[in-house]
Amino acid sequence: MSTTRSRTASRSRFALAIVAAITLAASACSSSSSPSSSTSASGATSVSILSYPTSGSSWVEYIAQKEGFFTKNGIDATLVSLPAGQQGTAALVGGSIDIGLLDTNNLGPLLAKGGKYTLITNAIQNYWVLMGQKDLAGESLGAALNSLKGKGIAVPSLGGSGARELELMLSAYGLSTSSVSLVADPTTTSFTTGRVGGFMNDTLGSCSVTAKGYPTVMNFVNPPAATASYPADVQKLIGLAGLGFWASDGWLGSHPGFETKFQKAIAETISWAQQSANLNTIAELFHGTTWDTASLTDSQWTSCTKEIVATFSDKYSSADFSTWNQILKAEGVSALPAESQFVAQGVPQS
C-alpha cells in the first residue's frame, strides 16, 4: 500500500415538499421495479439494503457482508448504492429496496402521516462533525458559532439532518438560524477554497479536512469539550441515535423472524468491529473502495477508520425518540407516533 491514498423560508412547507417528492419518486420506483427479496437456494433471506457510496454510515452493513455476519445469520444481502437519504427514502417507499439505511428525520414526515415503517435496529450514532477555518482553532462551540455569523456553512444537503442539527445548535446559543447561510455541498470544495466559513459533514467527510489542519468545532461522537459544558439542546445531540435500518411493516410481515436475525447480525458486526485487534483489518477492507480517501496517509486512514468505527451503535433509546420529535416539530412535522409503534422489539435502549 502506498503512503498516500491516491433556510428554508418555511420549514412546514419544506417538510410537505419532502413528502410529496418521496411520494412521486415512490410511484416511479414501484412502476419500474419490485422488491428483490426472496429465499435463496441455501434457505437464506435475500434482501436489498440501501448503501451510501461515500459515507462511513454504510460501513456496518459492508463489514457484515464481507466478514460473513449476514451469511452466518441466514441473510443474503445485496447493497444498493444511492447518493442520499431522500433518494433512499423514495426507494424504500417505492419498493425498489427492502431495507433503507435512514434516520428518523428521513422517515418522520411519513410516520407522522400514518406511514407504516419499522426501525429494525440502529446502526450509527449521530456522526456529524462541524469543522471551521483555521482562525477558529481553540474557540469554544459558542464562540465559533458567533464568529460564523454572516458566513456560509457547507452541508451535504439543505434538507438533511446535518442542516437541522446546525440550526438546533445556533438556537441553543441564542442565535438566529438565519445568522448563517447554508450552502449545499457534499464535497469539501467550498470549504477548502475559503468560500464558506464552516463545514458540516460525517466522520469520513471530515477526515480529509482534519488532515489538512482545519480545527474541529464540534463532534457529536467525540466532543472537544465536556458534555456538561454545552447547552441542554446540544447535549441531546451527543450520542444521539443516527441512521438505522428501516423496512416497511408489509415487507416484515411477509418475512417472519427476519427482525431477530438481522438484529443479531448487526450486533455481532458492531461487537467485532469495535475490538481494537480488528482495526487494521477494517482499514484494509475499505482500501480501494468508494469510501477510500486518497489524500490520507496510511496512518491517517487508520485513525479515520478508528473514528468511524466509534460511531457504530445499534441502540435507540426513549431519549433519542424525544430528541428526534423535537427536531421534526421544529421543521413543522406533527408529532411522531408512539415509539413502540415503529421501533422493533429487541432494539437495545442503552
pLDDT tens, position by position, 88-110: 999 999 999 999 999 999 999 99
Q: Which of 11-20, 297-306, 331-340 has the lowest mean pLDDT?
A: 11-20
Sheet holding 75-81, edge to edge: 38-39, 45-51, 75-81
Q: What is the DSSP string of 29-57?
A: HHHH-----EE-TTSPEEEEEEE-TT-GG
Q: Provide the 10 A C-beta neighbour count for residue 6.
A: 8
Which residue reads 438481522 in cell numbers? 262
Taking alpha carbons only, the member of 165, 161, 155, 167 closest to residue 131 is 155
Complete domains list, the chain, with CATH: 11-125+240-341 (3.40.190.10), 129-235 (3.40.190.10)
pLDDT, tens only, 295-326:
899 999 999 999 999 999 999 999 999 999 99
Q: What angle do CA 87, 88, 93 make, to 5 degrees?
A: 100
pLDDT-based confidence at residue 159 (cuts at 50, 70, 90) = confident
Q: What would the mean pLDDT of 46-64 be, rounded to a whole number?
A: 96
The pTM of the full predicted model, rounded to 2 decimals, is 0.88
The pLDDT value recorded for residue 331 is: 86
**Mean pLDDT across 186-190:** 91
